[in-house]
């Protein structure tokens, strides 16, 4: 199985990219290419990073017509359009690998592992929902959803799964997936919850689902920082320690 890394970024997160890439080269094996996708208006800024091994590409989503937050979600769900790899390992700008792994470590019975947690377990002390994604995801896939499917990085999906999900969304809503995302009020869409819940209920053959309430949370391969905080001296020191 061929696998490429797909990293969707933009100008404000550029400072994180050298650390993310260093962590990939230090700890990740078994991948073919690293694809860095950014909006057209940010290409020049990213060219200053002097990327050599990576493929810097222009996003297929026009952020001029779509909110940037929605645009990056749509781009991830179209990642197979940038590569002919069998599978795609998704990476965020502020994610740093912390120990060795390969795509094969994310497979169970030959299918990408996908962590899920029942919404019944994701409640505050007063009984209110601890996360906002359930009604948003139910609207997207057209049924009740009992599981939260955006639990941990890194996520991996086959190109076939991405294609099938887009086809489902096109048929369900009568518009392309990108158009559906762009139309949602208040940016109410969650890409990993949508495709994860769709697969869980409609196409379980694409993934091996890992219920964290039954099996616990597996030891992480990566550390996700908070990109909006910026690469502060403290964060830089922590990342350098990981990569030393």
How would DSSP label each residue in 147-178? EE---SS-EEEEHHHHHHHHHHHHHHHSS-HH
**All structural domains of the chain:** 3-233 (3.90.550.10)
- The span from the first CA to the last CA of the chain, in angstroms, equals 31
- Separation between Cα atoms, residue 43 and residue 201, nearest integer Å: 38
pLDDT tens digit string along 192-210? 999 999 999 999 999 999 9
Q: What is the mean pLDDT of residues 86-113?
A: 98
Instruction: Single out the residue of 201, 231, 208 nearest to residue 22, CA to CA.
Output: 231
Q: What is the mean pLDDT of residues 142-148?
A: 98
Mean pLDDT across the chain: 95
pLDDT of residue 151: 94
Res. 65 pLDDT band, cuts 50 70 90? low
Per DSSP, the three-state class of 201 is helix
pLDDT of residue 91: 97
pLDDT of residue 64: 54
Instruction: Single out the residue of 87, 77, 92 nearest to residue 110, CA to CA.
Output: 87
pLDDT of residue 216: 96
């Amino acid at each position: 199985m061929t696998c490429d890394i797909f990293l969707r970024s933009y100008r404000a997160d550029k400072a994180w990219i050298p650390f993310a890439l260093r962590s990939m080269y230090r700890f990740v094996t078994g991948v073919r290419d690293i694809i860095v996708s950014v909006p057209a208006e940010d290409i020049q800024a990213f060219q200053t990073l002097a990327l050599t091994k990576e493929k810097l590409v222009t996003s297929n989503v026009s952020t001029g017509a779509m909110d940037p937050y929605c645009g990056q979600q749509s781009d991830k769900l179209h990642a197979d359009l940038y590569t002919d790899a069998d599978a795609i390992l998704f990476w965020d700008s502020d994610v740093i690998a912390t120990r060795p792994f390969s795509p094969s470590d994310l497979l169970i019975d030959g299918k990408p592992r996908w962590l899920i947690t029942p919404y019944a377990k994701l409640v505050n002390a007063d009984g209110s929902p601890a996360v906002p994604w359930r009604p948003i995801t139910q609207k997207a896939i057209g049924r009740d959803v009992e599981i939260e499917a955006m639990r941990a990085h890194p996520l991996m999906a086959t190109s076939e799964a991405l294609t099938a999900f887009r086809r489902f969304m096109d048929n369900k809503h009568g518009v392309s997936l990108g158009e559906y995302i762009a139309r949602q009020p208040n940016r109410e869409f969650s890409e990993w919850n949508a495709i994860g819940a769709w697969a869980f209920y409609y196409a379980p053959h694409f993934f091996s689902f890992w219920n964290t309430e039954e099996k616990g949370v597996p030891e992480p391969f990566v550390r996700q920082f908070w990109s909006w905080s910026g690469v502060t001296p403290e964060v830089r020191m922590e990342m350098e320690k990981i990569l030393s």
